[in-house]
Amino acid sequence: MKKTKLFSLGLVAMAALVAFSGCGGGNKSGSSDKGSSDHSVVMVTDVSGVDDKSFNQSAWEGLQKWGKENKFKRGIGGYDYIQSNEIAQFASNIDTAVSNNFKTVFGIGYLLADSIEAAAGQNPDTNFVIIDTVIEGKDNVVSATFRDNEVGYIAGVSAGYTTKTNKVGFIGGEEGKVIDRYEAGFVKGVKDTAKKLNKEISVDVKYAASFGDPAKGKALAANIYQNGADIIYQAAGGTGAGVFSEAKALNSEKNEADKVWVLGVDRDQQDEGEYKSKDGKESNFCLASTIKSVGVVVQDISTRALEDKFPGGKHLSFGLKDGGVEMTDGYLSDEAKAAVKEAKEQVISGDIKVPETPED
């Protein structure tokens, strides 16, 4: 677990099938209305699940949109997803995708990298995509990553302009390059904002060691809020649901003016912040959400494959400049929105350099 960091004066465009042992319920067998299995697409989730209200859900929403727009049916020969409930299922779920003749297979999240790389070597005629990390030396693999540090930075700016207690928190799922980027950007954004506003703002950084443990997320959030933080930025997949749960429980016992906030991640999580305060007001505690356009990237790469232009062997990187990552206005004050806009422009121009790894 990481220690509190203190900063003082001196941050789109882009079924149930029997054979699918890991699929979500409700899949229906059927072939595509258009094309054939030569253009079929499937995604294999990480352990957070397809309904994590975050990373996997964004990918699935994008794939469903692509399938419907191109008149594909859900199932073999069309589009689908395979649910992974534990890491041990990654390899077998990818094997299932290949054996069911899906042409393009997405691994949603860096945890699937080893399994995707192995399957790509064994199945050179299948297209593979890994999201959030890079696989090198495979002509049938596309790597898609996001400059999460950039959007983490502007989230840090928003927190710095919003906090009343001058204490904020960050909860990550599992430590690694991806969440490192979020943490590094967020902490740098808070640090720069504290300096600009001539304040001291502390950041309490904690990790759950899991992307699928809402109970742990709730417990970590409780600790951070109890220590005085009034905003938590969570980049924790399904674990982040626990952060929302704790904030809702706390806010239900507070007057609306005294609420604590959550910054959402990966998709607009505003709906998760709805609650009724102690003084009976319908309100919302999702301050804003950083958006990772996973669904747009899934659509884009699937379309390229459909057009027989699959960019195998390439690494595609998406950031603030191209809309690959973005942030909602949410409930930010006008001052905070203006500061976020300015910071975004400075990051895009290169005037602000955002680190990719946390500073000691």
- Both tokens of 221, joined, read 């959030």
pLDDT at 52: 82
The C-alpha atoms of residue 73 and residue 248 are separated, in whole angstroms, by 38
Distance CA 79, CA 66 (A): 9
Q: Looking up tokens 């991640």, which residue turns up? A: 265
Is the sign of the CA dihedral 231, 237, 239, 245 positive or negative?
A: positive
Ranges of H-type helices in the chain: 55-69, 90-99, 113-122, 148-162, 177-196, 214-226, 240-251, 294-306, 334-349
Q: What pLDDT shows up at residue 243? A: 98
The number of residues making up the chain comes to 360
Reported confidence tier of residue 360, pLDDT bands at 50, 70, 90: low
Query: pLDDT tens, 119-176?
Result: 999 999 999 999 999 999 999 999 999 999 999 999 999 999 999 999 999 999 999 9
**Residue 16 pLDDT more than 60?**
no
Percent of the chain with pLDDT over 70: 89
Give the relative orientation of helices 177-196 and 334-349 as an angle to the nearest 10 degrees. Answer: 120
Q: Report which of 113, 138, 115, 112 is spatially closest to residue 127, judged by C-alpha positions.
A: 138
**261 beta partners:** 231
Residue 119, both tokens: 């399957």
Residue 50, classed as helix, strand or coil, is coil
Are residues 82 and 97 in contact, defined by beta-carbon separation less than 8 angstroms?
Answer: yes
User: CB atoms < 10 A from the CB of 122, how many?
Assistant: 11
pLDDT at 325 over 80: yes
